[in-house]
């Protein structure tokens, strides 16, 4: 039911896990725009943030409609950016809430979503990425193993792996 069939994926399109960027094998049945490599990552993301933002992701991840005029196109782009900025703050707030409650592993997917939306809105070299990275660092300090966090924050072709050690 939620399994991805490789032959149904368009050629050249790579579906990645929302949590670890590994090749996806499952899809969220509710929104059909979020992918996972395993049931474990799907449940972790659902428990953390996806349940709250599932339907909000649909307009962000489907292709933009054709607009008849430049004004409509600009309005559509502005609306898309407003939605992304709203999700940045919402995911950031949820991640902070989990950290305050001591649920460090639940904070990781929410902080990752905040980081991805920040990259889309502000670019890869923006100072606006710092708060999301700080949340990920704080979450990694409370997680049982830094290996889990280091693996889940790897973002493909960039060098954004977060490793925290407890040694001084």
For 101-157, the pLDDT digits (tens) are 999 999 999 999 999 999 999 999 999 999 999 999 998 888 765 454 444 444 444
Containing domain of residue 20, as a range? 6-64+80-152
pLDDT in tens, 32-81: 999 999 999 999 999 999 999 999 999 999 888 888 899 999 999 999 99
Q: How many domains does the chain have?
A: 1
Q: Is 45 exposed, middle or buried (0-12, 13-18, 19+ CB in 10 A)?
A: buried
What is the pTM assigned to this prediction? Answer: 0.80
Q: What percent of the chain has pLDDT over 90?
A: 65
Residues in the chain: 168
Query: Residue 158 falls within a domain, yes or no?
Result: no
The pLDDT of residue 134: 94
Place of tokens 């991640």: 95
Query: Residue 71 falls within a domain, yes or no?
Result: no
Query: Residue 157 falls within a domain, yes or no?
Result: no
Q: DSSP label at 10? A: P
pLDDT in tens, 72-91: 999 999 999 999 999 999 99
pLDDT in tens, 5-20: 888 888 888 999 999 9
Query: Residue 160 falls within a domain, yes or no?
Result: no
The pLDDT of residue 145: 57
- Does the pLDDT at position 168 exceed 70? no
């Amino acid at each position: 039911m939620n399994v991805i069939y490789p032959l149904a994926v368009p050629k050249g399109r790579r579906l990645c896990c929302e949590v670890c960027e590994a090749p996806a094998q499952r899809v969220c049945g509710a929104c059909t725009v979020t992918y996972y490599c395993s049931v474990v990552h799907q449940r972790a993301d659902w428990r953390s943030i996806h349940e709250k933002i599932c339907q909000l992701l649909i307009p962000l991840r489907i292709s933009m409609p054709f607009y008849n005029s430049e004004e409509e196109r600009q309005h559509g782009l502005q609306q898309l950016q407003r939605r992304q900025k709203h999700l940045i703050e919402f995911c950031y707030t949820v991640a902070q809430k989990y950290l305050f409650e001591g649920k460090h592993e639940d904070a990781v997917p929410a902080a990752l979503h905040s980081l991805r939306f920040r990259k889309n809105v502000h670019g890869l070299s923006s100072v606006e990425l710092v708060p999301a990275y700080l949340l990920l660092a704080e979450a990694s300090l409370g997680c049982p193993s830094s290996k889990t966090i280091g693996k889940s924050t790897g973002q493909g072709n960039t060098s954004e792996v977060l490793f925290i050690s407890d040694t001084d």
